[in-house]
Amino acid sequence: MHRTGALYGQFETLEQQKETASLGMWIFLVTEVMFFGGIMLAYTINRHTYYHAFAMGSQTLSIQLGTLNTGVLLASSFTMAMAVWAAQVGKKKLIPLFLALTIVLGFIFFGVKYVEYAQKFHHHLVPGRNFDIAYCVNNPSQCEDINAKDMEKEREELTAAMEADPDLNAHAQLYYSAYFGMTGLHALHMIIGAGLLFWLLRGSLAGRFSAEWNTPVDLVGLYWHFVDIVWIYLFPLLYLIDRHK
Amino acid sequence: MQSPLPFFPVQASSFAGDVDLLFTFILLTCLLFAVLVTLLAIYAAFKYRRTSPGEVGSTVEGNLPLEIGWTLIPLLISMVMFAWGAVVYVNFRTAPKDTLNIYVVGKQWMWKSQQPNGKREINELHVPVNRDIKLILGSEDVIHDFYVPAFRAKMDVVPGRYNTLWFRPTRIGKYHFFCSQYCGTNHAEMGGWVTVMDPAEYAAWLSDEAGDVNPASAGEKLFTQLACVTCHLGNGTGRAPSLNGVYGGKVLLADGTTVTADDAYIRESILQPKAKIVAGYQPVMPTFQGLVSEEQILNLTAYIKSLQSQPVPAKGAGVAPATTGKK
Amino acid sequence: MSTSSTINTGPALKLPEKHYLNASYGIRSWLLTTDHKRIALLYLASVTFFFFIGGFFAMMIRLHLMSPYGTLLSADTYNRMFTMHGVTMVFFFLIPSIPAVLGNFLIPLMVGAKDLAFPKINLLSWYIYIIGGSFTLYSMMTGGLDTGWTFYTPLSTIYSNSAVAPAVVGVFITGFSSILTGLNFLVTVHTMRAPGMTWFRLPLFVWAHYATSVVMILGTPVIAITLGLAAMERVFGLGFFNPAMGGDPILFQHLFWFYSHPAVYIMILPAMGVISELIPTFARKKLFGYHFVAAASLAIAVIGFLVWAHHMFLTGQSTYAALAFSFLTFLVAIPSAVKVFNWTATLFGGSISFDTPMLYAFGFLGLFLVGGLTGLFLGCLGIDMHVHDTYFVVAHFHYIMVGGAVMGYLGGLHFWWPKITGRKYPEWLARIAALVLFVGFNLTFFPQFVLGYLGMPRRYHVYPPEFQVYNVMSTAGASILAVGYLLPMIYLMWAAFYGEVAGNNPWPATGLEWTTPSPPPTENFEVTPVVTWEAYDFHNRPELGLDVLGVPRHGGMLPAHGDD
């Protein structure tokens, strides 16, 4: 198949090509819904079965950082949509600007995530031999990033949870397995998205996208919005539900 | 009741007749349809075979009433099959109120059962005829399944939960039971016999101590029978380490590492003796793979466990010296 | 009586000058091709390779089971044999075979397009398949896998001492190959049909693959995440499915079967699509009830997602759940029955010939009938409580997978071999092979129904001696079956180089693919076709050279003009 301008050989018209590419990306996103759906289902079922442990797990997440990340991602979806708009109306100079903003916001998200993950590591909340949901409560000097008021609340919650569930640590480890599984999978998708954005940035700087042809921008936009929507589900599931008994 | 055909197992429970009858119904119905379709196809193949090279068929495209008919009729018939099957199954899943409860535990690769009075069995189940029996099934490791073909009854045995299986045996005799969920190496050998007895005989058997062997003493007999005692002398002067005090302690191996002498270690030492050689000893122990059953390994382990309190010889002990680490 | 379809008139035929096979030479032109036809052949080679590996394991199983005492192989080795037989056959043969070989080759031709929607993604899907297959081969070579192809936890994640992780990773990776193939097909059918090729003029092969693709893209991601979690559990000790850590082995089963049940429809729908092409072609008549058969494909795909827990009736799940799933299982049988009736009805009033592809179609009808009907037994709660996890189940699914899917695959290969290679296979040898296959198959698997009802559990390396006679019968059948498989492998290869040149449309058949030369040029159609005829319309296609002006074959019980 040889390309004729921007038209690939298997297509008759540019319109058909665009329609095909778009449908392809939508169907791909459906598969992603099923992919994330599986682990979200496992999480939801376990949340129902081990209510106390999972509530405790949510407690240990920083709602401030989570909200910040949510805002960052929503903003990045806005800038992405602006990039798509700029391409559609042919404002070629604006495309790289909005793409760059989206990338920056994406990296802010990674940065916040890194801080959160590092925190979990220090607080012995990574599943494995050292996992201990009670670590910070029992060793407040090791968890200085939690202020006294929050620490007191966590101690109360922990005591109540341990009474309700003697196997709290094992079940809390399930929570964290899901936490790292889901956010890790999401982060992986974002990294891929960031890579795609860099690729688009390069192309837009070279002037490849125009009002006549901007399919890659369109499709990456769809992908980026999807990744954002996954976060919109993760945030309440992990951070918000039943933080307090 | 004796089974009507050589293709059916013997009918030994109250379920068996129901299941076989349902099976016969579905079989006959399916046979009817299968034969009908096959005959129609063969008939058409003959009647409408090509008679000249260029011949084409008719222009018939379809027939709506026919489509509706052959959708609704199979639907109705399958609903009957569903409903009948549901009735049999609900009966199977709903144990009567007053049952004789037996605890059954499956583990790789054996079954342990405990009668209401505490009497235990390994790979055997004795039950009285014409009584409602309920098995409470647990697993120590992976998923197993307890299956008695003559009773037409089976139930998965899942770790982390209890499942129950009830049946009423209706015929005195001995029937196979099998593990019916793949569980690893010896899945196929994890079975035994269900013995259905006359109630009086069952009562007698239940109170009879003779069959209830203390595992440790059975193990001690085996230890001599299998000639373990010739090398594993208790005073440490034999070709093999003494087993006094070994169980639960640390063992120093020839490669310098130490291991804990737990059940798994004992089992491995019997089946794959060359896997871990005790420091200061030659790798001369023969393997007993294929020569001992799971039950016998358990008994030997129980015997070795009973040697924990025996005096550990100064030299030739199987126990690692205290300096190598805490117990 | 058994007149062949082909109309041999005129001078000897010659292959076209330039076609997709000689368009370019060299290994790079094959390994970097984006031509859907070449990719189909890449898949053909790979699935055939895995078929033989799976077949080797099957041979070991049947040889071993001749004796009730397990004398040939050790328990561990036997367990690896049946596990790897299952994994290889399910994931590396049955799921890809018809879609990736015949679907890839034919769908663009059938819809009138130059290629699939995403040719490079098509090639990528083959490479993903090869990478996944390599991981699984690595697992086989480092001791193999002994968990059963169903990977039930905690056996697979905690207790098994075999090469679980590489095999699970291999299957995980191969899943993406399936997803990309399904994606490609769905988009192609939506956006790349030629002018005049409306939805209801599409060959039913395309409808079948459309339905299959829906299942592929919705189901496969779920097995991906399930195996991903299982691999995490095995390697990193996470506890979702481990009861010792509060996890639930039954959750694994739900997630696993949510894909693996629809997966069996991925395996059978394409074969049904092939049969829907073969019967009209060799009866020279429109498929009876076209719309109903198309709708039935979609119905199977949808309802197929709702029945997964019929694999779990005896796990201790609630009785209500069991009732619901049994009910739905009976529902899913209905569209399959409707198809069987429609195929049979197509024969009436036809002009039937018994070329090899038609023999495979008849074989399919008979064997799928048995396989499908025995599914009713299993879906019926009162029977499943006895035959679950016995040889009854093994016999049932082999009737469908081998008697159904493999028959469909072989029938399709024979039917389209002239289009793919430009040459015909040797007809009489092929007919004999088809009969050998049919006989061997029944002898292998019918005794297993009896074994199952008598109570022989599956996955057993030793068994009570009273079951031996049926096992020996089964092994005898398997050796005949093996011959039935080897023959086509040999003569199809031979025919590809030395067979009689076929011409554009040897049968003749009505699909768009038959309007191109055999083999087709790389771009399929020199001019975009414009479709003005209905599917399987033998009467309005004078170019087929058939005798439509003679007295039309009257339809037997039904009026000569169709009403739908």
Taking contacts as CB-CB distances below 8 angstroms, the residues of chain C near A46 are 240
Number of folded domains in chain B?
Answer: 2
Nearest CA-CA partner of C185 in C161, C223, C224, C215? C215
**Is 90 exceeded by the pLDDT of residue B315?**
no
| C217, C226, C258 ranked by CB distance to A27: nearest | C217
Taking contacts as CB-CB distances below 8 angstroms, the residues of chain B near C352 are 44-45, 48-50
Taking contacts as CB-CB distances below 8 angstroms, the residues of chain C near B56 are 284-285, 351, 538-539, 546-548, 552-553
C369/B26 touch (CB, cutoff 8 Å), yes or no: no
| B41, B62, B179 ranked by CB distance to C288: nearest | B62
pLDDT bin (cut points 50, 70, 90) of residue B325 is very low
What would the two tokens of residue C134 be?
């390599």
If you average pLDDT over residues A163-179, what whole number do you get? 88
| C34, C116, C183 ranked by CB distance to A28: nearest | C183
Query: Residue C226 in contact with residue C255, Cβ under 8 Å?
Result: yes
Query: Residue A109 in contact with residue A117, Cβ under 8 Å?
Result: no
Q: Is residue B48 part of a domain?
A: no
What would the two tokens of residue B172 be?
């005195």
Q: Reduced to 3 states, what is the DSSP secondary structure of residue A3?
A: coil
pLDDT confidence of residue B210: 57
If you average pLDDT over residues C411-428, what whole number do you get? 96
| B61, B74, B158 ranked by CB distance to C564: nearest | B61
**Is 50 exceeded by the pLDDT of residue C3?**
no
Distance in angstroms (rounded) separating the CA atoms of residues C91 and C260: 10
| C326, C348, C460 ranked by CB distance to B82: nearest | C326
| C314, C326, C556 ranked by CB distance to B86: nearest | C326
Taking contacts as CB-CB distances below 8 angstroms, the residues of chain A near C108 are 10
B38/C322 touch (CB, cutoff 8 Å), yes or no: no
Distance in angstroms (rounded) separating the CA atoms of residues C461 and B178: 13
Q: Pick A14-240's CATH classification: 3.30.230.70, 2.60.120.620, 1.20.120.80, 3.40.50.880.
A: 1.20.120.80
Query: Residue A79 in contact with residue A71, Cβ under 8 Å?
Result: no
Question: Chain A residues contacting C, CB < 8 Å?
Answer: 1, 9-12, 16, 19-20, 23-24, 27-28, 30-32, 34-39, 41-42, 45-46, 49-50, 127-128, 167, 170-171, 173-174, 177-178, 181
Task: Please give the CATH superfamily to which domain C29-544 belongs.
Answer: Cytochrome c oxidase-like, subunit I domain (1.20.210.10)
| C7, C390, C455 ranked by CB distance to B53: nearest | C7
If you average pLDDT over residues C310-318, what whole number do you get? 95
CB atoms within 10 A of CB A37: 16
**Is 90 exceeded by the pLDDT of residue B166?**
yes
The answer to whether C223 faces chain B, any CB pair under 8 Å, is: no
pLDDT confidence of residue C2: 42
Query: Residue B143 in contact with residue C249, Cβ under 8 Å?
Result: yes
Distance in angstroms (rounded) separating the CA atoms of residues A101 and C301: 43
A1/C225 touch (CB, cutoff 8 Å), yes or no: no
CA distances from B203 to B115, B136, B207, C388 (A): 11, 21, 6, 34
CA distances from A66 to A61, A115, C112 (A): 8, 11, 51
**Is 90 exceeded by the pLDDT of residue C61?**
yes
Average pLDDT of the residues of chain A? 90
Q: What percent of chain A has pLDDT over 90?
A: 60
Suggest the residue from A19, A27, A186 to mutate for an interface test with chain C (most C CBs closer than 10 A): A27
| Neighbors of chain A with 3 or more C-beta pairs under 8 Å | C
Minimal C-alpha gap between C225 and chain A (Å): 6
Q: Is residue B49 part of a domain?
A: no
Q: Which one-letter amino acid corresponds to residue C32?
A: L
**Is 60 exceeded by the pLDDT of residue C322?**
yes
Exposed e or buried b per residue across C270-279, where buried means at least 16 C-beta atoms within 10 angstroms of its C-beta: bbbbbbbbbb
Q: Are residues B229 and B193 in the same domain?
A: no
Instruction: Give every CB contact of residue B204 below 8 A, 6+ residues apart in sequence.
Output: none
3-state secondary structure A68-118: HHHHHHHHHHHHHHHHHHHHHCCCCCHHHHHHHHHHHHHHHHHHHHHHHHH
C365/B142 touch (CB, cutoff 8 Å), yes or no: no
- Encode pLDDT of B104-148 as tens digits: 999 988 999 988 888 888 999 999 999 999 999 999 899 999 999
The answer to whether B60 faces chain C, any CB pair under 8 Å, is: yes
pTM more than 0.90: no
Domain boundaries, chain A: 14-240
Q: Is residue B86 part of a domain?
A: no
What would the two tokens of residue B30 be?
């399916």
What would the two tokens of residue C143 be?
């001791």
B181/C560 touch (CB, cutoff 8 Å), yes or no: no
CATH number at residue B282: 1.10.760.10
CA distances from C56 to A193, B195, B290, C163 (A): 44, 41, 27, 19
Domain with B175 in it: 100-207
B179/C457 touch (CB, cutoff 8 Å), yes or no: yes
Taking contacts as CB-CB distances below 8 angstroms, the residues of chain C near B44 are 344, 347-348, 350, 352, 556
Nearest CA-CA partner of A196 in A45, A17, A28, A40? A28
The answer to whether C235 faces chain B, any CB pair under 8 Å, is: no
C219/A34 touch (CB, cutoff 8 Å), yes or no: yes
Taking contacts as CB-CB distances below 8 angstroms, the residues of chain C near A171 are 246
Q: Are residues B167 and B268 in the same domain?
A: no
Average pLDDT of the residues of chain C? 93
C461/B54 touch (CB, cutoff 8 Å), yes or no: no
C229/A11 touch (CB, cutoff 8 Å), yes or no: no
Minimal C-alpha gap between A34 and chain C (Å): 6
The position carrying tokens 């506890």 is C239
Q: Is residue B184 part of a domain?
A: yes
Distance in angstroms (rounded) separating the CA atoms of residues C273 and C286: 14
pLDDT confidence of residue C560: 40
If you average pLDDT over residues B221-248, what whole number do you get? 88
Taking contacts as CB-CB distances below 8 angstroms, the residues of chain B near C386 are 19, 23, 149, 152-154
- Encode pLDDT of A110-135 as tens digits: 999 999 999 999 999 998 878 888 88
- Encode pLDDT of C185-231 as tens digits: 999 999 999 999 999 999 999 999 999 999 999 999 999 999 999 99
**Is 50 exceeded by the pLDDT of residue C557?**
no
A46/C240 touch (CB, cutoff 8 Å), yes or no: yes
pLDDT confidence of residue B327: 37
Would the CA dihedral through B232, B238, B240, B242 be positive or negative? Answer: positive
- Encode pLDDT of C118-166 as tens digits: 999 999 999 999 999 999 999 999 999 999 999 999 999 999 989 999 9
If you average pLDDT over residues A137-146, what whole number do you get? 85
Q: Are residues B236 and B135 in the same domain?
A: no
Question: Residue A194, Cα to own-chain centre: how many angstroms?
Answer: 12
**Is 80 exceeded by the pLDDT of residue C176?**
yes
The answer to whether B57 faces chain C, any CB pair under 8 Å, is: yes
Taking contacts as CB-CB distances below 8 angstroms, the residues of chain C near B33 are 369, 373
Nearest CA-CA partner of C201 in C508, C528, C529, C536? C536
Domain boundaries, chain C: 29-544
If you average pLDDT over residues B6-21, what whole number do you get? 93
C380/B81 touch (CB, cutoff 8 Å), yes or no: yes
C186/A16 touch (CB, cutoff 8 Å), yes or no: no
Query: Residue C403 in contact with residue C498, Cβ under 8 Å?
Result: no
The answer to whether C373 faces chain B, any CB pair under 8 Å, is: yes
Return the minimum-mean-pLDDT range out of B249-258, C373-382, C398-407, C511-520.
B249-258
The answer to whether B59 faces chain C, any CB pair under 8 Å, is: yes
Taking contacts as CB-CB distances below 8 angstroms, the residues of chain C near A31 are 179, 183, 217-218, 220-221
- Encode pLDDT of B284-313 as tens digits: 888 888 788 777 888 888 889 888 888 888
Q: Is residue B6 part of a domain?
A: no
Query: Helices (H), strands (E): how many in chain B?
Result: 7, 12
pLDDT confidence of residue A167: 82
| B33, B60, B181 ranked by CB distance to C562: nearest | B60
Average pLDDT of the residues of chain B? 89
Suggest the residue from B13, B59, B158 to mutate for an interface test with chain C (most C CBs closer than 10 A): B59
pLDDT bin (cut points 50, 70, 90) of residue C425 is very high
Minimal C-alpha gap between B136 and chain C (Å): 12
Peptide bond connecting C508 to the previous residue in cis, omega within 30 degrees of 0: yes
**Is 70 exceeded by the pLDDT of residue A60?**
yes
| B23, B44, B58 ranked by CB distance to C554: nearest | B58
> Which residue has better confidence, C90 or A148?
C90
Instruction: Give every CB contact of residue A170 below 8 A, 6+ residues apart in sequence.
Output: C239, C245, C246
**Is 80 exceeded by the pLDDT of residue C91?**
yes
